Amino acid sequence: MKVLGLVALAAAVAVPPYLPKYFLEVLIAILFWAYLGAAWNILGGYAGQFSFGHAAFFGLGAYTSTLLFLRAGVSPWLGMLAGAGVAALFGLGVGFLSFRYGLRGPYFSLVTLAFAEMLRVIAVNWKAVGSSLGLVVPSKGSAPALFVFADKLPYYYVILAMTLGALALTWSIERARLGYALVAVRENEDAAEAAGLDTLGVKLRGMVISSALTAFGGTFYAQYYAYIDPSLTFGVSVSIEGLLRAIVGGAGTVWGPLLGSFVLTPISELARAALRGRAGADVMLYGLLLILVISFLPQGLMGWIARVRSRAAAAP
Amino acid sequence: MDRAREEPRGRRAVSIAAPLLEVTGLSKRFGGLLAVSGLDLSVRAGEIVGLIGPNGAGKTTAFHLMGGFLPPTSGDVRFKGESMIGLKPHAICRRGLARTFQIVQPFAGLTALENAMIGAFNRAPDVGRARERAGEVLDFVGLGAKRATPARSLTLPDRKRLEVARGLATGPDLLLLDEVMSGLNPTEIEETIGLIRRIAERGVTLLIIEHVMRAIMALSDRLVVLHHGEKIADGAPTAVAADPRVIEAYLGGAGAPA
């Protein structure tokens, strides 16, 4: 397993310079959604708090770094940190309001969705942040210090590093006290509280980590596509696409979001290419696939792999 | 694990001073129902106190109030001299007052060891120490061989043990046990009586809700009887069992204790 992982890592670093541009774009998309899935996974997968509104943090990250860049000339590398700070504060506020008043399960999901929609509507109507026209990020030439690159390859390495970083963080949280606490909250909140866990504090910590990571993804998006608008960044689809990676791959597992993205992202790309011209058909196909996965693999692909493995181990 | 050395608590010394737990005038009203009514109850360090009463007498509600799971309508709960009113359950647990649930509440997806670890984090700061402590507690309650079993695959008696293990792992001075014997067969009840005695020997003070009369009579230093939310008797088990009010209320003239 370790050898396999090292080979995959070496290939992920060494092969992309030789790939055609389209493949590189697909790889970037895979890693980008895996990254967002991993960020969501810490709160949604481990702590079981199903946010439907991670687009709020994504958009805050994208808008904060872009506005700092456009209006004050601050490098997006620094703006990224500011965006994460803004998103973490917002996450803390949303989390405190919802958790303090005991919103659980679907109620929490709906509140997060509402907050993301609220930000989208504000962005649409606010001239100073570009309203519904959005913001164009200067992207001519190459300026590594300003997170602007002439071709796709550097962006690939940036998102590769971000994804590996998010997975490494997840791995270390899983093995730490915080990881046990997050899972205990997911499994049984009352029992966790009775066992001495400050469940509000645990959930808020999960919220802050998850929202800050998601904001980094927003800045990456802004720099890579060089354009943001309210629906692209604060829209529902950002929230849903990210959490689907984690759920299909296996929520609450380190590798789930990566695996989920390797399966879902190419399918969504292929469906879009194959069904071009039939508006909405690719979304329907995608939806059908999701229904199948969730009905037959409720624990995601990681759960299925674990079952197959334990069956193989049990067989003589 | 030698807890007496690890956490000296001087049972004798404390028992001369103020009670470990002192409940005064505790009431809880749910709409028109007074579930607990003006309950006075004290538990001294080192005691095993049984809390009994017919179904619906308010025993579990009283536990919810003491553990911070419900806010009382009036009254006070003092633990080690400090009021617990307004504290959240985890803060009460942190101070050394832990509980089990009548309807077992395991972390179903986690193993027995991980379940106990969640409790152990209350006193053990790092994962290694928590794992060690959890392992010791599982051995102590007789679940050592099943530490890697997911809680959802455990039998009911084992889940009851796990419930006790998780409570014990938090390192309590006072442990509230809520019907840890219900649903067990006679052999398992005998084992649980032994387990509770050994918990007391470790220096943990116990307040126990139990319907298994034989067990509660054998274990308790003192019995407190609730009926319709009110305390109707408080004293030595033999005296309480002979109290006509208790016989009238608790047994309802239905015959001898089970």
In sequence order, the β-bridge partners of residue B234 are: B224
Count residue pairs from A and B with Cβ separation < 8 A.
Answer: 86
Is position A10 within any domain?
no
In sequence order, the β-bridge partners of residue B235 are: B223
Interchain pair A198, B166: CB under 8 A: no
CA dihedral B154, B182, B160, B107 (to 10 degrees): 80
Q: Where are the alpha helices (DSSP H) in chain A?
A: 2-14, 21-41, 55-72, 76-100, 105-125, 152-175, 177-187, 189-194, 199-225, 230-234, 236-249, 256-274, 281-296, 300-314
Per-residue pLDDT for B256 more than 70?
A: no
Query: Domain total for chain A?
Result: 1
Eight-state DSSP code of residue A143: B
Q: How far is CA B73 from CA A223, B35, B76, B232, in A?
A: 57, 10, 10, 20
> Could you tell me which residues of chain A have a Cβ less than 8 Å from any Cβ in chain B?
175-177, 180-181, 183-184, 187-188, 190-200
Per-residue pLDDT for B1 more than 60?
A: no
Return d(Cα B59, Cα A41) in angstroms, integer: 40
At residue B225's C-alpha, the angle toward residues B221 and B230, to 5°, is 140
Is position A6 within any domain?
no
Closest CA relative to residue B121, chosen from B62, B55, B171: B171
Closest CA relative to residue B227, chosen from B205, B249, B212, B242: B249
User: For residue A98, what is the domain's CATH number?
Assistant: 1.10.3470
Q: Please tell me which residue of chain B has the smallest CA distance to A197.
A: B90
Q: Please tell me which residue of chain A has the smallest CA distance to B102.
A: A191
Q: Please tell me which residue of chain B has the smallest CA distance to A252.
A: B109
Hunting for tokens 């050592």 — which residue is that?
A: B144
pLDDT for the residue numbered A309: 87
Answer for the pair A44, A257: CB distance below 8 angstroms, yes or no.
no
Closest CA relative to residue B176, chosen from B21, B15, B32, B14: B21
Return d(Cα B138, Cα B113) in angstroms, integer: 7
Mean pLDDT of A223-231: 96
User: Tokens in use for A233?
Assistant: 């960044």
Q: What is the ipTM of this complex?
A: 0.87
Is position A269 within any domain?
yes
Residue A1 pLDDT grade (very low, low, confident, very high; cuts 50, 70, 90): confident
* A178 to chain B, closest Cα gap in Å: 10
Please name each of the domains of chain B with its CATH number: 1-95+213-258 (3.40.50.300)
Mean pLDDT of A152-156: 96
Hunting for tokens 């129902």 — which residue is that?
A: B33
Interchain pair B105, A194: CB under 8 A: yes
Q: Please tell me which residue of chain B has the smallest CA distance to A172.
A: B127
Answer for the pair B42, B208: CB distance below 8 angstroms, yes or no.
no
* B246 to chain A, closest Cα gap in Å: 32
Mean pLDDT of B105-110: 94
Is position A222 within any domain?
yes
Mean pLDDT of B229-250: 90
Per-residue pLDDT for B62 more than 60?
A: yes
Return d(Cα A41, Cα A37) in angstroms, integer: 6
Q: Which of the residues A190, A197, A302 would you substitute to probe the B interface, choosing the one with the greatest number of B C-beta atoms within 10 Å?
A: A197
Restricting to B residues 114-153, those with a Cβ less than 8 Å away from any Cβ of A are 114, 117-119, 121-122, 125-127, 130
* A195 to chain B, closest Cα gap in Å: 5
pLDDT for the residue numbered A276: 76
Q: Which domain holds residue A247?
A: 23-314
Residue A316 pLDDT grade (very low, low, confident, very high; cuts 50, 70, 90): low
pLDDT for the residue numbered B92: 97
Q: Please tell me which residue of chain B has the smallest CA distance to A173.
A: B127
Hunting for tokens 């980590």 — which residue is that?
A: A209
Interchain pair A194, B67: CB under 8 A: yes
Residue B17 pLDDT grade (very low, low, confident, very high; cuts 50, 70, 90): low
Contacts of A52 (CB under 8 A, 6+ apart): A109, A110, A112, A113, A116, A236, A239, A240, A243
A127-151 burial code (b ≥16 CB/10 A, e <16): eebbeeebbebebeeeeeebbbbee
Per-residue pLDDT for A75 more than 70?
A: yes
Mean pLDDT of B82-101: 96
Give the least confident one: A4-13, A219-228, B1-10, B26-35: B1-10
Give the least confident one: A8-12, A149-153, A287-291, B253-257: B253-257
Answer for the pair A234, A143: CB distance below 8 angstroms, yes or no.
no
Residue A278's φ and ψ, nearest 5 degrees, are: -100, 90
Return d(Cα A290, Cα A296) in angstroms, integer: 10
Report chain B's mean pLDDT, rounded to a whole number: 90
Closest CA relative to residue B103, chosen from B144, B147, B31, B160: B160
Spacing of C-alpha A84 from chain mean position: 13
Mean pLDDT of A125-146: 90
pLDDT for the residue numbered A124: 95
Per-residue pLDDT for B247 more than 90?
A: no
Hunting for tokens 């219900």 — which residue is that?
A: B182
